[in-house]
Structure 1
Amino acid sequence: MAESGTGAHILVFPYPAPGHMLPLLDLTHHLAIRGLSITILVTPKNLSILTPLLSNHPVAIKTLILPFPSHPSIPTGVENAKDMPFSAFNHFMLALGDLHDPILDWFHNHPSPPVAILSDLFLGWTNHLAGELGIRRYVFSPTGALGLSVINSLWCYFPKRDDPTNENSLISFPNISNSLTFPWWQLSSIYRSYVKGDPTWEFVKDGLCANMASWGVVVNSFTELDRVYFDHIIAEFGHDRVFAVGPLLPPANNVVERGGSGSSEVMSWLDTCAARTVVFVSFGSQFVLTNKQMERIALGLERSGVKFVWAVKGPTGGHDVEEYGKIPAGFENRVAGRGLVVRGWVPQVAILSHESVAALLTHCGWNSVLEAVVAGVLLLTWPMSADNFSNAKLLHELGIGIKACEGGETVPDPVEFTVLLRKSVSEETRVERNRVAKFAVAAKKAVGEGGSSWRDLDRLVLNLSQ
């Protein structure tokens, strides 16, 4: 369908963090292709992230640029969650809630206001706003069907541990398929902070509960990957306005550019490596490793003899620069020619798609999971927080992920970790590699013309237009 921008007008509101923004912007690209007229709400310092999308869709997509509301707990100039420590997360959410009135004013003064709001699950208060405006709100989940099921269960049923002092108390989710259990410390840190009784988390809780009342649910996944959990979501929400539209990936002309500087160096180096011989190490856009974790990863990479690309993120707000993100002295010299250390953001989609990459050592963020699955790359799981643990559990259930470690402060056993790295590029993981290759085929089929996600995108556009 040719882009026209003359279809129904919708407001898209991403949560300002890379892992949340990028998949929703990728979805916006597909909605624009299907003829919708779209306004994206963004604060000034996040506007540059939209540049490729706006260049591709100068007619269909416009922007609503609103100043980021001031808050005493948020440093001036910070407008993206990746620059905030978790201790300020609730204040960041509260600040975003102050955009309510400016949006209301914009809506009432617009000659052709939107007929629906499509917003991130961390912006649940927009469901109340949509009610005030008399329009529909669709919640966008940047995590998969299992991750969303766990989030909804936490905020609907409020499970508690029998012993408030035992971090290993098992919490069961009998209402979710496969009767999952997690130790307390693996549950969402947002939820655990709320349970402690801090009243500043009440706003966050209200927003996450409001998601359940949204008109529609849009999930960045595909039914062939976690079908049983999609069935659960449909049952929980009580309607079929649940749309599996993933995997959402950048347009082909933006795969490398999304990585920023240094992209060409990485891709050129990978070109010198044989097929399925490289381990890619990446822990996403927000998580910063402790120096002890950095030392253990470096030791494993050095001892294993594997080829690797290691994307290293330095300390941000709230991190002691002496305790986080330091590469051991002399490491890069000792592995020169066999490994590449890249500081900052890298073109992850392009790297994973390169034929030389065999495995991804990951924190199990959902974007990373989907990108690896699409590329047919084995996942070495090291879940850290948030939905990481439920994502890792799904990967293990499907037999396409192998446990490397777990926990934000944990360090892997040096011998076991070294063995795993060697194994990940050997014939010992042939069974897991074949499984993920089959899911790669299913993922591409899902987003191809006539596939399950393609059909759900068409169904979503029709629903939004009504």
Structure 2
Amino acid sequence: MSQIGEDLHIVFLPFFTSSHLIPLVNAAKLFASRGVRSTVITTVHTAQTLQASGITIHTLNFPSSEVGLPVGIELINSAPTQEMAGSVFRGMMMLQPKFEQVIRELAPDCIFSDMFFPWTVDLADQLNIPRLLFYPSCFFYHSVLHSLRVYKPHESVTSESERFVVPNLPDNITMTRAEMSEHLKTKTEFGKILELIYESEKRSYGFVHDTFYEMEPAYVDHFKKTKGVKVWHIGPLFRFFNRVSDYKHDCLSWLDYQHPKSVIYICFGSMASFLEAQITEIALALEDSKRPFVWVVGKAGNVGLPEGFEERARRENKGLIISQWAPQVEILQHPAVGGFLTHCGWNSTLEAVVAGVPLVTWPLFAEQFYNAKLLELLGIGVGVGADVWNLGYEITSPIIMKRDIIKAIELLLGDSGIAESIRQNSKELAIKTNKAIEDGGSSINNLMALIEELKVVKLTSKP
């Protein structure tokens, strides 16, 4: 890549959870690949998990003892309980003065800040430099969210399950109150934090999103017009650094012996914790579907698995259970994988889109219900029937039954015209993804335009 940003120094400030940390650090690497001096500020133990090629990492000590956490738990998704996750968040807020001090000492030309650091807009004003607000999410989500906040269509329905149309969008998007984030329906502490973020939007130089134009062109254009702000889409960020590891996980060797497009991959991210009854229904569905599978069970371990389930799957070469880390990018890109049963986190969504793998959508919380609607709108996903947003990581929404899980898997992996259409749509979108990150592609063009603009701002803001 050409070096166009030699005169710029940008400080990158990632949030304390992997779903935000990884794409923002990848953004720092992407800017560095164009010659920008890129400094990431994070905590000591978090820094040890990062590959720092091309970037500088400045570390701070996390206040573990002050918030009652064991040393080393510095990411929300690494906290074993909801209470401990809250302690990580409190520790992060306590670090604000130290973050500010470091940024002042570094005297950067720009602050590239995660959404959860709204105070960086004040610091940027004091330093007379631009503040870029990073959203590791799509324009579709923010467009729907904006319409819900402004027009409040959910206030006109009389029940949690009654459907309503979200107004002023390029497509006919319907929702229920049950699918909506809690802060949109009542006052919450999280809602107060989001209000600070929305206020910081108005004073930011612009927004940067981890998405690409060809995936949601109508919503990129709609968002720009509706919000009247500068926005740049430079994703999928992980795709720029999609290196094949020298280490080959056992599951990849197992996949080598499966038929092409035959395997269903199941993973709900690193945060969700299902009830035992739900784990049982998933296991029974996989057993009855007769489809080979790779299932990352995460925090649940084998709690809730029917007796002998894992042994039968292994003995019959039917599937694999993974309770620790799994190489998700490599799994999705393996030719044996034909579908992905997912919570619709944005990182997982992009990884599937890049691989051209269709999705069974099972949203749980955060912005996942919005992402699921985008996937269905694009014709690359089918819903499993999840229709109640969860307040926390403990999933208490109604149990999705075995028959509904099997139905969705068969609709995705079967021989029907719908299944074929979904596979074709997924394949075509994957091709567009690759073009977006090539020289001359939409994401690279956005990146270069942003760097050039920041160089102009630096020159014109000098006293």
What is the TM-score normalised by the length of structure 1?
0.86
Match of 1:188 among 173, 177, 181: 181
1:383/1:442 Cα in 2 relative to 1: closer, same or farther (>3 Å)?
same
Give the secondary structure class of the aligned counterpart of 2:12.
strand
Matched-pair contact (CA < 8 Å) for 1:40–1:63: yes
The equivalent of 2:134 in structure 1 is: 140
Q: CA deviation at 1:288?
A: 2.1
Matched-pair contact (CA < 8 Å) for 1:314–1:326: no
Distance, in Å, in 2 between the alignment partners of 1:400 and 1:48 is: 36
Matched-pair contact (CA < 8 Å) for 1:18–1:82: yes
Distance, in Å, in 1 between the alignment partners of 2:431 and 2:87 is: 42
The equivalent of 1:242 in structure 2 is: 231
The equivalent of 1:17 in structure 2 is: 17
The equivalent of 1:331 in structure 2 is: 309
Q: CA deviation at 1:256?
A: 4.1
Matched-pair contact (CA < 8 Å) for 1:285–1:345: no
Matched-pair contact (CA < 8 Å) for 1:306–1:422: no
Distance, in Å, in 2 between the alignment partners of 1:208 and 1:95 is: 22
Q: Choose 294-303 or 24-33, whichever is displaced more.
A: 24-33
Matched-pair contact (CA < 8 Å) for 2:283–2:306: yes
Distance, in Å, in 1 between the alignment partners of 2:437 and 2:209 is: 13
Matched-pair contact (CA < 8 Å) for 2:361–2:381: yes
Give the secondary structure class of the aligned counterpart of 2:250.
helix
Match of 1:102 among 98, 104, 111: 98
Q: Choose 408-417 or 448-457, whichever is displaced more.
A: 408-417
Give the secondary structure class of the aligned counterpart of 2:134.
strand
Distance, in Å, in 2 between the alignment partners of 1:423 and 1:19 is: 29
Q: Choose 41-50 or 126-135, whichever is displaced more.
A: 126-135
Give the secondary structure class of the aligned counterpart of 1:119.
strand
Distance, in Å, in 1 between the alignment partners of 2:44 and 2:183 is: 27
Deviations 1:277-321 (A, max 9, x none): 110001112212221111111001100110110011115xxxxx9
Q: CA deviation at 1:73?
A: 6.2
1:135/1:421 Cα in 2 relative to 1: closer, same or farther (>3 Å)?
same
The equivalent of 2:277 in structure 1 is: 292
- Residues 64-83 of structure 1: pairs in structure 2 closer than 5 A: 64-69=58-63, 75-77=69-71, 78-83=73-78
1:395/1:250 Cα in 2 relative to 1: closer, same or farther (>3 Å)?
closer
Q: Which amino acid aligns with 1:196?
A: K
- Residues 395-406 of structure 1: pairs in structure 2 closer than 5 A: 395-406=375-386
The equivalent of 2:115 in structure 1 is: 121
Distance, in Å, in 1 between the alignment partners of 2:96 and 2:150 is: 25
Q: CA deviation at 1:122?
A: 2.2
The equivalent of 1:282 in structure 2 is: 267
Matched-pair contact (CA < 8 Å) for 2:77–2:85: no
Give the secondary structure class of the aligned counterpart of 2:332.
helix
The equivalent of 1:149 in structure 2 is: 143
1:388/1:271 Cα in 2 relative to 1: closer, same or farther (>3 Å)?
same
- Residues 52-451 of structure 1: pairs in structure 2 closer than 5 A: 52=51, 54=52, 56-57=53-54, 61-69=55-63, 75-77=69-71, 78-84=73-79, 85=81, 92-110=88-106, 113-153=107-147, 161=155, 166-168=159-161, 173-178=166-171, 180-192=173-185, 195-196=186-187, 198=189, 202-239=192-229, 241-249=230-238, 254-256=243-245, 263-315=248-300, 326-336=304-314, 337-406=317-386, 407=388, 408=395, 409-428=397-416, 429-451=419-441
Q: CA deviation at 1:170?
A: 5.2
Give the paired residue count.
Answer: 442
1:190/1:133 Cα in 2 relative to 1: closer, same or farther (>3 Å)?
farther
Q: Which amino acid aligns with 1:82?
A: N
Give the secondary structure class of the aligned counterpart of 2:97.
helix
1:306/1:434 Cα in 2 relative to 1: closer, same or farther (>3 Å)?
same
1:213/1:269 Cα in 2 relative to 1: closer, same or farther (>3 Å)?
same
Q: CA deviation at 1:425?
A: 2.4
1:378/1:253 Cα in 2 relative to 1: closer, same or farther (>3 Å)?
closer
Matched-pair contact (CA < 8 Å) for 1:121–1:140: yes
1:108/1:224 Cα in 2 relative to 1: closer, same or farther (>3 Å)?
closer
Q: Choose 402-411 or 387-396, whichever is displaced more.
A: 402-411
RMSD of aligned residue pairs (Cα, Å): 2.8
1:253/1:361 Cα in 2 relative to 1: closer, same or farther (>3 Å)?
closer
Give the secondary structure class of the aligned counterpart of 1:123.
coil
1:108/1:128 Cα in 2 relative to 1: closer, same or farther (>3 Å)?
closer
Give the secondary structure class of the aligned counterpart of 1:143.
coil
Matched-pair contact (CA < 8 Å) for 1:289–1:325: no
Distance, in Å, in 2 between the alignment partners of 1:431 and 1:167 is: 32
1:67/1:154 Cα in 2 relative to 1: closer, same or farther (>3 Å)?
farther
Deviations 1:367-395 (A, max 9, x none): 11111111111111111111111111111
Distance, in Å, in 1 between the alignment partners of 2:77 and 2:214 is: 31
Q: CA deviation at 1:266?
A: 1.1
Q: Choose 213-222 or 150-159, whichever is displaced more.
A: 150-159
The equivalent of 1:464 in structure 2 is: 454
1:116/1:252 Cα in 2 relative to 1: closer, same or farther (>3 Å)?
closer
Q: CA deviation at 1:105?
A: 2.0
Distance, in Å, in 2 between the alignment partners of 1:244 and 1:107 is: 25
Q: Which amino acid aligns with 2:104?
A: H
Q: Which amino acid aligns with 2:433?
A: A
Matched-pair contact (CA < 8 Å) for 1:279–1:359: yes
Q: CA deviation at 1:86?
A: 5.1
1:236/1:89 Cα in 2 relative to 1: closer, same or farther (>3 Å)?
farther
Q: Which amino acid aligns with 1:228?
A: A
Matched-pair contact (CA < 8 Å) for 2:212–2:442: yes
1:329/1:464 Cα in 2 relative to 1: closer, same or farther (>3 Å)?
farther
Q: Choose 215-224 or 400-409, whichever is displaced more.
A: 400-409
Distance, in Å, in 2 between the alignment partners of 1:277 and 1:237 is: 43
Which structure 1 segments of 5+ residues have no match?
316-320
Q: Which amino acid aligns with 1:187?
A: M
Q: CA deviation at 1:151?
A: 4.0
Distance, in Å, in 1 between the alignment partners of 2:84 and 2:145 is: 20
Which structure 2 segments of 5+ residues have no match?
389-394, 457-463
Distance, in Å, in 1 between the alignment partners of 2:443 and 2:223 is: 16
